Structure 1
Amino acid sequence: MKRLFLDANVLFTAAQNPAGKAALVIEYGGKGYWEIVTNTLAVEEARRNFALKFPDCLTKFEMLLSDVLVLPSQIEGSCSFSLSPQDRIIFLSALTCKATHLLTGDIKHFGPFINKPKITSGIIIQTVPEFLRG
């Protein structure tokens, strides 16, 4: 079964746009099509952004988390490619939980590694639309 690790951008987008593709990924995870995983860092980053920008979406966000396995953030380990410290935590958490995919909206930092599992220790990094296109 596919195990999808979602970063804060994807979590934020899913709660802000419940009819969108990111929300669909979580919905299908809740139905058992794949596992949905994230870490505490991504959850807290999304919560902070909602509190600042869209506090009315916090309730929807908390409801979405019922279909998401939230794991502790992995802060130790090595990364074979260059990432910022915060993005390294996201990647290492995905690696530690044996995610098959890391879904992100962060093209600036993860863009060079999209669809390059030979570089990313076997994890397929993609945007949500890329993942859904299969």
Structure 2
Amino acid sequence: MDRIFLDANVLFSAAYREDSGLVHLWDLESVELVTSSYAVEEARRNLDTASQRERLVKLLEGVRVIPVEPLVEVPPDITLPEKDVPILRSAMASGCTHLLTGDVKHFGPYFGRVIGGVLVSRAAAYFKARE
């Protein structure tokens, strides 16, 4: 079973439009979706409308939310902005197999790489690998 950690931008994008392709993550079999309260708050803060925030709440019903940032060390060769460190820490500490993010600027150099047991990738790459 894959355990997938969803970055804030994945949550945001899934809730932003009703027809977002990312909502198919919630339809996958043998998958557990995980995120953190930190990621949820970031996604919520960036959504503009009440209907988008309502979609986020509905989507979160199918996601295990980690309430606090774990004190897991990020490997020293990984360079991320402070705002992204809690995302990687939570993915690592929660035993996730994958971290899905659309943050190409900060996580892009690590796409396809396993960090602390977690494969970092875009959602599109994850869907393609499951075909």
Q: Would you say same fold, with TM above 0.5?
A: yes
Q: Hey, what does 2:4 align to over in structure 1?
A: 4
Residue 54 of structure 1 deviates from its aligned partner by 3.1
Q: Which runs of 5+ in 1 are unaligned?
A: none
2: CA distance between counterparts of 1:36 and 1:7?
Answer: 11
Q: Hey, what does 1:93 align to over in structure 2?
A: 90
Q: In the alignment, is the contact (CA less than 8 A) between 1:116 and 1:125 conserved in 2?
A: yes
Q: In the alignment, is the contact (CA less than 8 A) between 1:5 and 1:36 conserved in 2?
A: yes
- Larger helix proportion, structure 1 or 2? 1
Residue 60 of structure 1 deviates from its aligned partner by 1.0
Query: Runs (4+) of structure 1 moved beyond 4 Å?
Result: none
2: CA distance between counterparts of 1:125 and 1:69?
Answer: 19
Residue 86 of structure 1 aligns to a residue whose secondary structure is coil
Q: In the alignment, is the contact (CA less than 8 A) between 2:96 and 2:117 conserved in 1?
A: no
- TM-score norm. by structure 1 comes to 0.88
Q: Hey, what does 2:13 align to over in structure 1?
A: 13
Task: Give the percent of matched residue pairs that are identical in Structure 1 and Structure 2.
Answer: 36
- Larger strand proportion, structure 1 or 2? 2
Residue 55 of structure 1 deviates from its aligned partner by 3.3
1:123 is the counterpart of 2:127: no
1: CA distance between counterparts of 2:70 and 2:93?
Answer: 10
Q: What is the count of residue pairs matched by the alignment?
A: 127
Q: Hey, what does 2:27 align to over in structure 1?
A: 27
Q: Which runs of 5+ in 2 are unaligned?
A: none
Among 43, 53, 59, the residue aligned to 1:46: 43
1:65 is the counterpart of 2:60: yes
Q: In the alignment, is the contact (CA less than 8 A) between 1:17 and 1:23 conserved in 2?
A: no
What letter is aligned with 2:117? G
Residue 24 of structure 1 deviates from its aligned partner by 0.7
Q: In the alignment, is the contact (CA less than 8 A) between 1:100 and 1:124 conserved in 2?
A: yes
What letter is aligned with 1:125? V
What letter is aligned with 2:17? N
Tell me how large the CA RMSD over aligned residues is: 1.3
1: CA distance between counterparts of 2:17 and 2:27?
Answer: 13
